[in-house]
Chain A
């Protein structure tokens, strides 16, 4: 029902009005007939005339209605036969607003779909590609693949175990799940820094970077994902890594996103020992080069990075 065009809805309104008129006219006819005819001899002409007039108006109303209903066609919502139509039939409909809200939501979704397809068309024209998706297959593949946030725990574990194995020489990765399925990945990179990633399915939801001497466990021994490092340099890196998670975000291949972020994160092992590739200095405002280029992984100061581009 929700996908009626405004025009059709107007027609529907018209048809409803016609039905009402038809009903009232028919009632009038029967009313008159039931009232009976007094003094038939004197007024028979007049009475017959009257009856004829009302009957003919019933006739025109009926034909109007028939003409109108032919344009409407069958009701699509009924053919959907989803549960939502049952709500529509429910007599309590007047008391609850569920159905209207549902329709509202449908409209929103439609609108969003429409705009998303515009956006995808626009993005296709753009040279800059974040995801290696071939044009044209966008909508189809999206529907087929699983959303990245809904990967089962076992898949995530397989990925994380392979990472733990692959990078055991350079970083120590450990995984805990303090609250059900969401994995908290703790990475110790050499003796330089510690990073914490919170995953929802395979999507990186939250990042914190701290110093080697700092801990991600609160005083009560529970994992503390909120508190920031007490050192400025790691607060800055937290910002940069968060930005990088957005850069590497790939809903189509979430495992690639995590892998590439971790490879990129490795470049921070030389945080204190590499000078900025732009200015050649170690320090700028008391901070070492905290930015690593997303492709070349070269070290830059935050401000030097802006000048490079």
Chain B
């Protein structure tokens, strides 16, 4: 497991999401990457009710990734990320009087997984309640463990695959973690950041349509 960058890939007007995904996959296959199955990252949001003593109303996001099938990532809106056994879902059910799952909050990114040398590429279509939301492309460079070391290397790779416009975006989260050892929890935090952006975009759109 190495350093991961998750990129938001915009869908240009007049094209369907599937067309864009196919285009990216073709680009990846041209590079010489090999298909190695599917992947899925999902996220559920739990909202605190009003009834907790002396605590502001928090939000807990529970994420799962097919790359770490036995683990569960619980990320608070404060940014604290707890990595636990998948059984943690059971604990959340025990807290149902305090933290309620938001209806229709489940959002996931699903798609093809590719391997190329020491790289792993994942092209995911994001959907919430079976509505297509957008495209997230994940690039992982496995041998490196410090994000700061391989940022430029990653940029070069993403430029050649996704174009320089996409490669320019760098997660604000990654910028703060350049010296530390990268962990899967950091990947999950990046996904959460993107998922929240998708949700925000939806609510803005809805507000504009009204």
Contacts and interface: CB of A to CB of B under 8 A. Distances in A.
Interface of A: 191-192, 211-213, 229, 231-234, 271-273, 275, 281-283, 285-288
A287 B157 CA distance: 11
11 contacts: A231-B143, A233-B117, A281-B156, A282-B156, A282-B157, A285-B117, A286-B32, A286-B118, A286-B119, A287-B117, A287-B118
Interface string B1-23: 11000000000000000000000
Interface stretch (B41-49, B54-62, B129-137, B146-154): B146-154
B153 A272 contact: yes
B81 interface: no
A28 to B, nearest CB: 91
Contacts of B117: 232-233, 285-287
Given A282-B152, A282-B153, A233 B116 contact: no
Most A CB atoms within 10 A — which of B142, B150, B153?
B153
B1 A272 contact: no
A232 B152 contact: no
Contacts of B143: 211, 229, 231, 233-234, 272
B82 interface: no
Interface in B127-181: 141-146, 148-150, 152-153, 156-157, 181
Nearest to A214: B143
B157 to A, nearest CB: 6
A283 B157 contact: yes
Given A191-B146, A191-B181, A233-B143, A283 B153 contact: yes
B142 A231 contact: yes
Contact of A275 (B148, B149, B152): B152
Given A213-B1, A281-B156, A272 B144 contact: yes
Given A191-B145, A272-B153, A282-B153, 19 more contacts: A191-B146, A191-B149, A192-B144, A211-B143, A213-B145, A231-B143, A232-B118, A234-B143, A272-B144, A272-B150, A273-B148, A275-B152, A282-B152, A283-B157, A286-B32, A286-B117, A286-B118, A286-B119, A288-B153
Contacts, number: 54
Nearest to A270: B149
Contact of B118 (A212, A213, A231, A275): A231
A213 B140 CA distance: 15
B118 A273 contact: no
Contacts of B144: 192, 272
A271 B145 CA distance: 12
Interface residues of B, number: 21
Contact of A273 (B32, B116, B119, B152): B152
A286 B116 contact: yes
Contacts of B141: 272
A94 to B, nearest CB: 65
Given A231-B118, A282-B156, A285-B117, A212 B142 contact: no
Contacts of A273: 148-150, 152-153
Contact of A233 (B1, B118, B145, B152): B118
Contacts of A233: 117-118, 143
A132 B116 CA distance: 45
**A-B pairs, 8 with minimum CB distance:** A286-B117, A272-B150, A231-B143, A282-B153, A272-B149, A282-B156, A272-B144, A273-B149
Nearest to A289: B153
Contacts of A211: 142-143, 145
Interface string B55-92: 00000000000000000000000000000000000000
Contacts of B153: 272-273, 282-283, 288
A192 B156 contact: no
Contacts of A231: 118, 142-143
A275 B143 CA distance: 16
B181 to A, nearest CB: 6
Contacts of A286: 32, 116-119
Contacts of A272: 141, 143-144, 149-150, 153
Given A231-B118, A286-B118, A212 B156 contact: no
Interface in B85-119: 116-119
Interface string B172-192: 000000000100000000000
